Chain A
Amino acid sequence: MKSLVYVENELLSHPRIEKLKKQLHTDRIIPIDRYQQLFNRGQQDFRAQKNHPSWILAKRHGTLLHQVPDGYGIGRKHNYYFSHFLNCPFDCRYCFLQGMFRSANYVHFINYEDFFSAMETMMRVLGEEHVTFFSGYDGDSLALEHITHFAEEFVAFFRQFPRGELELRTKSINIRHLLSIEPVESVVIAYSLNPDIVTEKIEKKTPPLKKRIVALQKLQSCGWKIGLRFDPLIWFQGCESLYSELFDLVAKELSLDSVHSVTLGAMRAPKHVMRQMQKLLASDPLIASCQSEHSLIEFSQKYLETLLPKNKVFVCQDAS
């Protein structure tokens, strides 16, 4: 059976829709007025949808670039995040999206040109000051690249704007396109990493650690800037020794001299979001315990600063 694809009426004749219909192997298009009609309604079962999400092709209206809170940057003065996609094929138990959204269906905002225009305006307004744009807050940046061609189009855009920096945050090894093109100086491919046991038991449906390291090696050897994101760090019995092993493995397998940046962060979500996650995943011990252990951050920071220059290690937490 082919998937159902919902499309906003105003996009029915958009050139990207035809391509997406082919990529999604479907001719079952259901016209809708606005994606919120489906996405924001009550009485949805997030976990049931997660196993079989529908696609909603939509146009992002309103504010396209959102300021990143202080304390979550990677060295630049101005930091903005944006989302071309809501939700993700991966099923990480700690993911705040399941507490934040009512639906696990995929919303793909196809008006890329509006994002480009907003970024261009932002860079013009900031003049000589540098800015980083972060992708991957509301869904993995590369996991569905073979369908969305998001990275392909945004990397091409940033090739023209070296003053703007783009971070593509991912756990995916979907890097075929990136390996086929010339690297772009202002693009950072940032991988979320956790020890094997966390990946296996908590980061469901994600590529194993080994494959992520191989992807990082390939990207690095092609000349791409890479970032390492130990975020969220997961607190469990014996975690310190497994995180030390992870940091040592990364130091052994990658060339740390050319790593763009490393970030560390605790598991975090606003209270109401965590409450919703606890409802949805009532039997999950990680969500039930909801522990945000800051001593693991300190431990990891100290450990990593023995392997890397201090100015490359950033702790992501509220600035206050």
Chain B
Amino acid sequence: MTIVIQTALKQEAAPIISYFDLKKVVSEHAYPLYQNDNLFLAISGTGKLAAAGTLSFIVAKYCNQTPILINFGIAGGKYEIGTPFLISSISDHASMQREYPSFAYELPIDFAPLITVDQPETSLMAETLYDMEASGFFHAAKKLTTLEYIAILKVVSDQGVSHHSQIDKSQLQKHLAQAIHPLKQLINAIKDIQQPPFASQEEEIFLNRWHFTTCESHKLMHLLTRLQAIYPEEGFISYCLPLKSGKEVLNKLEKLLQEAEICL
């Protein structure tokens, strides 16, 4: 199971790199990328297009199953500095579109709505966070994985500044380091809801022995998976060995399925 964490700034990434002992991936990537086993961290730079582009690239290159995708970073808001929040809705200031992450777990982390802006915002509404990446991240992420595996975790860095250089760096480092604990909780919670795929182990043997069209091979997979659910200890190749064509094999498997009796 692959986990991709995306941050905009090196400062946001630093405590994650340190805690998870990530190593820089040396390649010709336009984005700094760090890795430890199946955990990736990409630093996209500021802005929603950068966030979406980085995420799409990393997932396309390194993930072959539905990955966990997390945007982690700082956000402005009229809350206590350093408080971590899970984002409950993301509004894109420019397009006026709103998106909703899906939470299939419980965590002791507060929720807040967030607005993604194109320019730093200095006059902030109450009970709302502001960032510059989340809407782009979410827009890309929802096309790359299941909604329940996507999350945005933000740490309140300021109550409205015109540039992130105005934020107290040492304080920021401290708050981001404190947010590692909720980040770990979040990763574990999402890992817990992921289910291992259930599939037949015999498909390859069938495909090598008989010819199946694309449509037939889908049907084969479907039939074998169902048969394996009913008879988990059994193999089905032996029932089909005398058969000559893929069609005959499919008919045989269908017959086995029709004759199956469930034991409770």
Contacts and interface: CB of A to CB of B under 8 A. Distances in A.
- Are A and B bound to each other? yes
Interface string B87-111: 0110000000000101111111101
A283 B193 CA distance: 16
Nearest to A105: B102
Given A282-B199, A283-B198, A289-B262, A51 B147 contact: no
A22 to B, nearest CB: 19
A199 to B, nearest CB: 11
Contact of B103 (A32, A37, A52, A290): A52
Interface stretch (A41-49, A182-190, A306-314): A41-49
Contacts of A236: 261-264
A37 B264 contact: no
B145 interface: yes
B146 interface: yes
A45 B104 CA distance: 9
B107 A30 contact: no
A49 B102 contact: yes
A267 to B, nearest CB: 11
A79 interface: no
B111 A288 contact: no
Interface string A231-254: 000111100000000000000000
A44 B105 contact: no
B4 interface: no
A282 B107 CA distance: 29
A284 interface: yes
Contacts of A45: 102, 104, 146-149, 193
Interface stretch (B48-56, B164-172, B225-233, B242-250): B225-233
The main secondary structure of chain B at its interface with chain A is: loop
A1 B262 contact: no
A44 B193 contact: no
Interface in B207-263: 222, 225-227, 229-230, 257, 260-263
How large, as a class, is the contact surface on chain A? 35 or more
B193 A51 contact: yes
Given A49-B102, A51-B193, A285 B147 contact: no
Contacts of B120: none
Given A30-B100, A47-B195, A289-B262, A283 B147 contact: no
A298 to B, nearest CB: 18
A52 B146 CA distance: 16
A237 B262 contact: yes
B113 interface: yes
A54 B147 CA distance: 14
Interface string A27-67: 01010100001100101110111011010000000000000
B60 to A, nearest CB: 17
Contact of B264 (A30, A49, A198, A284): A198
Interface hub of B103, B149, B230, B264 (most chain A Cβ within 10 A): B264
B103 A4 contact: yes
Contacts of B102: 38, 44-45, 49, 54
Interface of A: 1, 4, 6, 28, 30, 32, 37-38, 41, 43-45, 47-49, 51-52, 54, 197-198, 201-202, 234-237, 278, 282-291
12 contacts: A1-B108, A38-B100, A38-B102, A41-B147, A43-B146, A45-B149, A45-B193, A47-B195, A54-B103, A197-B264, A288-B225, A289-B230
Give 10 nearest A-B pairs by CB, closest first: A288-B229, A288-B226, A48-B104, A282-B198, A48-B193, A236-B262, A283-B198, A285-B230, A45-B148, A48-B148
